[in-house]
Amino acid sequence: MSNSYLRFWGVRGSYAAPHKSHLNVGGNTSCVEIRSDDTLLVCDGGTGIISLGEQLMHDEELSEMMVLFTHYHWDHICGLPFFQPAFSPDWKIKFFGPGESSGDIEKRLSDQMKAPYFPVETETWMAKIDYLEPDVNGLSHGPIKISYHNVHHPGLTYGYRFQVGGKSVVYVSDNEVHFLKTSIAKRIHEFEQDEHELLERMVSEQRNSEVSAIEGVDILIHDAQYTPHDYDSKRGWGHSCYVDTVNLAIDAGVKCLYLYHHDPTYDDDQVAAIHQDSLQIIRERGSDMECHIGCEGLKVDL
């Protein structure tokens, strides 16, 4: 039987929040490790990847990994310049993310290390680096099967689905669910009565699309950045209100949801309150879905 697990190394959205009041949840930005025996997959390179890299330098069993990026906003790539395995000749690293080609992916990752923004460029990386070509049929890394889909966030952004250790896992760090539905509600006055049926069909199409991407998965790690109060003023920033995330996950028959990409202004108590309200929603809807806070250091056996 395989030894498969995932571990959260960074759970914050937008920017790191290394404050004492935040550290039960964690202050580092997006990074999740997925392991299946000696196969290592990393989702995103936020500040969480720095600590992961430090640990990997002491792991004598591993010398290869794949790192996937959902997109190239700072909070998902800013740990990469400090990722020690990239500077070590003992490692082989495959990178993949949104882009037309492997060259496109390389450019987007390496640009942040150019002067005057960083003292050394990716040419100083001593690891064997491969940038992977896009493939709509998906990727594989050892026994892990990987597919990706577009999500609702500024710029081209991917959500990833993995089949690992007999479990299905979906990682959607940044995604604003229900956006079209609320756009229609706000602008319904622009439409004639005979157009309303088609608008309802558009809402239904988007819902079906959001559900199908995560339907029935064992584990969903999903953007749940805002409270309803904060979402009111931050609609259109590309992130979800946790209430919408929880309801979507229930509708999709997800077995276990990890709330993720926590707002950096929320301290431990505020995130705990989000969790309690999420559990209340699940109870009220009569669902048996598990729901947890994605916390830094949390290891989940697969």
Chain residues that interact with another protein, rule: CB under 8 A: 100, 136, 149-156, 179-180, 183-184, 187, 190-192, 195, 198-199, 201-202, 205-206, 236, 238
Chain centroid to CA 10: how far? 10
Q: Give the shortest CB-159-to-another protein separation in angstroms.
A: 11
Q: Give the shortest CB-280-to-another protein separation in angstroms.
A: 30
Q: Give the shortest CB-13-to-another protein separation in angstroms.
A: 16
Q: Are 170 and 159 in contact (CB under 8 A)?
A: yes
Q: Are 229 and 267 in contact (CB under 8 A)?
A: no
- Measured on CA atoms in the order 159, 279, 47, 94, is the torsion positive or negative? negative
**Nearer Cβ to another protein (150/280):** 150
Amino acid at 194: D
Q: Give the shortest CB-169-to-another protein separation in angstroms.
A: 20
**Nearer Cβ to another protein (137/276):** 137
**Nearer Cβ to another protein (78/213):** 213
What three-state secondary structure class fits 172?
Answer: strand
Residue carrying structure tokens 């002491």? 58
- Secondary structure (DSSP) of 251-268: HTT-SEEEEESB-TT--H
Q: Give the shortest CB-204-to-another protein separation in angstroms.
A: 8
Q: Give the shortest CB-205-to-another protein separation in angstroms.
A: 5
**Nearer Cβ to another protein (12/152):** 152
How many CB atoms within 10 Å of residue 44? Answer: 29
**Nearer Cβ to another protein (244/268):** 244
**Nearer Cβ to another protein (28/206):** 206
Task: Select from 52, 55, 51, 8 the least CA-distant residue to 30.
Answer: 8
CA distance 225 to 25: 13
Alpha-carbon dihedral 232, 236, 238, 242, rounded to 10 degrees: 20
Q: Work out whether strand 167-172 and strand 219-223 pair parallel, antiparallel, or are unpaired.
A: parallel
